[in-house]
């Protein structure tokens, strides 16, 4: 992605909930300072799948890949309610600090998707991305239940979209699953950014590692003292993993699908086995 999201022509994000008088200015400030990320389609799929298994999340600076950022999801994240009774597509999420210990999460849609069915000459007058909604997430020391996120103006955040973002943040910190590659801005776009006095940090591409596959054997199998006579498939899941000095802190870590049990034992049959491959 080489174009930064911009405001609509009247200077205010379209479809924003009423709130602070400076919401448009804050949106501009966040986008100018945001680190840019492009999430490949396979990584988007994993983030949405893994997000379904999250029950709670934190939104502190330490939990984010950048204090202020913009994640563009290849393929999008589905639909969200923009205004009561009106929905819109979500192709990207931007975040930044908000008032009263909150994180503002901006929902963005590409002009192509928002302008579907409109004449091309009309669509080209749209900015590259349009902000269609913003939500406020509480920044707290303890995780917040994804089922109890606060509503504003009678509208509650989409659990699926917020969970996918939290999952993406967690997964981006697991190098055994994810590749993060820096791509420099093309020269023409870099010159345009300099003329506009905007920062140019390039774009970070986030993709699933090619060697991510269900393991043949879990290295922890049998360490609990039990004797197993079969092997079985363990689905991908989150683990509350200890880390840091003395391993006293905890963070969510995605454990890929794998086969557990002793080598050579028969695989335990089930009625249905879900296999997810790149």
Q: Convert the pLDDT of each residue in 77-98 to its tens digit.
A: 999 988 777 889 999 999 999 8
Between CA 62 and CA 65 the distance in angstroms is 8
**Quick one: average pLDDT of 223-237?**
65
Q: Helices (DSSP H) in 52-186: which residue ranges? A: 111-114, 120-123, 159-172
Lowest mean pLDDT among 48-57, 160-169, 180-189: 180-189
**12 — pLDDT class (breaks 50, 70, 90):** very low
pLDDT at 221: 45
**265 — pLDDT class (breaks 50, 70, 90):** low
**274 — pLDDT class (breaks 50, 70, 90):** very low
DSSP 93: E
pLDDT at 277: 41
What is the average pLDDT score of the chain?
77
pLDDT at 11: 39
Between CA 6 and CA 10 the distance in angstroms is 11
DSSP per residue over 186-235, as a string? PHHHHHHHHHTT-----EEEEEE-TT---BSS-TTTTTTS---SSBEEEP
pLDDT at 91: 96
> At a CB cut-off of 8 Å and minimum separation 6, what does 75 contact?
41, 44, 45
R_g (Cα) of the chain, nearest Å: 21
In this predicted structure, the answer to whether residue 188 has a pLDDT above a threshold of 50 is: yes
**18 — pLDDT class (breaks 50, 70, 90):** very low
Percent of residues, the chain, with pLDDT higher than 70: 71
pLDDT at 9: 39
pLDDT at 219: 44
In this predicted structure, the answer to whether residue 243 has a pLDDT above a threshold of 50 is: yes
**Quick one: average pLDDT of 64-69?**
93
Q: Which residue would you say has higher pLDDT here, 21 or 55?
A: 55
Between CA 34 and CA 1 the distance in angstroms is 13
Tens digit of pLDDT for each residue in 129-182?
889 998 999 999 999 999 999 887 778 899 999 999 999 999 888 887 778 787
Q: Check: CB of residue 240 under 8 Å from CB of residue 250.
A: yes
- Quick one: which of 51, 96, 42, 103 has its CA closest to 236? 51
Q: Give SS3 for 143.
A: coil
**250 — pLDDT class (breaks 50, 70, 90):** confident
């Amino acid at each position: 992605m080489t174009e930064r999201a911009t405001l609509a022509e009247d200077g205010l994000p379209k479809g924003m909930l009423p709130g602070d008088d400076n919401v448009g200015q804050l949106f501009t400030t966040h986008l100018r300072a945001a680190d840019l990320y492009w999430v490949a389609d396979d990584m988007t799929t994993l983030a949405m799948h893994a997000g379904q298994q999250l029950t709670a999340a934190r939104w502190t600076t330490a939990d984010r890949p950048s204090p202020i950022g913009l994640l563009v999801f290849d393929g999008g994240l589905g639909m969200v309610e923009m205004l009561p009774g009106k929905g819109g597509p979500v192709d990207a999420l931007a975040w930044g600090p908000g008032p009263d210990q909150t994180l503002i999460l901006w929902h963005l849609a590409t002009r192509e998707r928002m302008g579907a069915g409109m004449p091309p000459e009309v669509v080209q007058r749209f900015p590259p991305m349009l902000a269609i909604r913003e939500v406020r997430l509480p920044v707290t020391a303890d995780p917040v239940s994804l089922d109890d996120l606060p509503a504003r103006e009678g509208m509650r955040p989409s659990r699926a979209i917020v969970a996918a973002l939290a999952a993406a943040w967690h997964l981006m910190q697991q190098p055994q699953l994810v590749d993060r590659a820096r791509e420099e801005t093309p020269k023409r776009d870099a010159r345009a950014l300099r003329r506009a006095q905007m920062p140019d940090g390039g774009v970070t591409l986030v993709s699933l590692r090619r060697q991510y596959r269900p393991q043949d054997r879990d290295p922890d199998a049998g360490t609990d003292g039990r004797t197993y006579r079969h092997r079985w498939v363990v689905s991908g899941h989150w683990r509350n993993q200890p880390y840091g000095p003395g391993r006293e802190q905890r963070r969510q870590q995605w454990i890929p699908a794998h086969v557990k049990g002793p080598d050579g034992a028969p695989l335990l049959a089930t009625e249905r086995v879900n296999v997810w491959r790149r």
